[in-house]
Amino acid sequence: MLGSLGVLLIGGALHVRPHVFVAGGFGVGKSALQDLVKSVLRGVLHDTANASEAGIRQRLALDTLPIAVDQMEAASDNRRAIGVMELARIAYSGGRFFRGGADHKGVEFIARSAFFMSGIVPPPMESEDKSRFSMVNLDKLGDVGAPPLMGADAGRMLLRSLMDWWPRWPQTLADMSAQLRLGGFSRRQADTYGTLLGLALLMIGPGAFEDGGLPITEGERFAEIMREATAEERDTQVDNWRACLEHLLGSNIDAWKGGEKPSVGSVLDQLEQENMSLAAARDRLGTAGLGLQEEEIEGRPGKRRYLLAVPRTSPALARLFVGTRWQDSGWWVSLRQGVSTGVVADVGKVVKINRVPARCVLIDLARYDAFASR
């Protein structure tokens, strides 16, 4: 939260602007936390509730002032919230864009503001959105009385601290990100958490970090604490290719068996557990436009692996992706992005599916299981 205040104060000067979403039920203090942020950033914060993307964009114009959005809730119609999330996604690394005006003249906008959002249940967020946010989950504190508000003097003091130590920022960010990378954080995650933690470090110094339970001078211990603290949050930040594959594995095949429609993943499980023959599995997967290959593992006689063949085009397969970001053969481009992991064993291999040759992406199921269990 302290690092978030730093991002809100000087977001326009940063390479990336990590956003914060505060979630929690009724009575846990979301409004009190919003009030605290408003009191620290008094006079510079654009404060709104349930805003639209167009409203925020037009209010900002060419400014890089911070945005606080309360009551960002999941609803039956999430189009407004999704628009705000898309604006925040652009603002994370900064972008300049244009919109047409009523007088047929283009209007220029800059998206380079940090966002502080809160709500009971966050609206739908894609993996790329989640990696740009730090999620703060609040629980009830009990009867602790009303929290004191930090006046505008606190905001000026924090800003002054950031200005005084600004020359150290590039090295501070590099060191913080390097520690997180050694702890297994991806580059995006290291940018997000590294920026938040690095700004907090500039404002309060290493001594206060140590007093707060973060041993900043012990690299391995610090990385371990951060890895454990953010594990659940980072688990939801999967790569696009993996999200696409897991959507496919969880999709039901439009063919009844025993009164149920099995999923792609359940058919593969039955095959690997020897509760279904290879021929039966191929037949069932073929109704979804998918193929299946069995190969001997090189250097391991008698050991075999199964490869799921996903074609570039297929009417049956298209029905499994309709309404998703991977529709219209978007699954082909997405799955190819997993080649470097070894889960995608081949791209463009011709496999017969329902007697028709098709160029496919081959998914090594054993390697996927190993990758997903890490």
Residue found under tokens 């029905």: 319
Q: What is the DSSP letter of 329?
A: T
Listed as ranges, residues in the chain with pLDDT below 50 are none
Altogether, the residues listed in the chain come to a count of 374
Instruction: Give the residue extent of every domain in the chain.
Output: 2-235, 240-372
Q: How far apart are CA 3 and CA 306, in angstroms?
A: 47
pLDDT of residue 364: 93
The Cβ of residue 78 has, within 10 Å, a number of other Cβ atoms equal to 13
Identify the CATH class of 2-235: alpha beta
Which structure tokens are listed for 21?
């979403």
Taking alpha carbons only, the member of 374, 334, 127 closest to residue 237 is 127
Provide, rounded to the nearest whole percent, the portion of the chain with pLDDT above 70: 91
Amino acid sitting at position 145: G
**Burial class of 79 by CB neighbour count within 10 A (0 to 12, 13 to 18, 19+):** exposed
Concatenated DSSP letters of 16-47: ---EEEEE--TTSSHHHHHHHHHHHTTTT-EE
Over the stretch 326-360, which tens digit does the pLDDT of each residue have? 999 999 999 999 998 889 988 889 999 999 999 99
Cα 244 to Cα 232: distance, rounded to the nearest angstrom: 20
CA dist., res. 331 & res. 241, Å (int)? 8
Q: Residue 352: its pLDDT value, please?
A: 92
pLDDT single digits (tens) 58-95: 777 777 888 888 877 776 667 777 888 888 888 898 87
Predicted local confidence at residue 102, as pLDDT: 65
Q: pTM for the whole thing?
A: 0.75
Tokens of 57: 């964009």
Contact call for residues 72 and 122 (beta carbons, < 8 A): yes
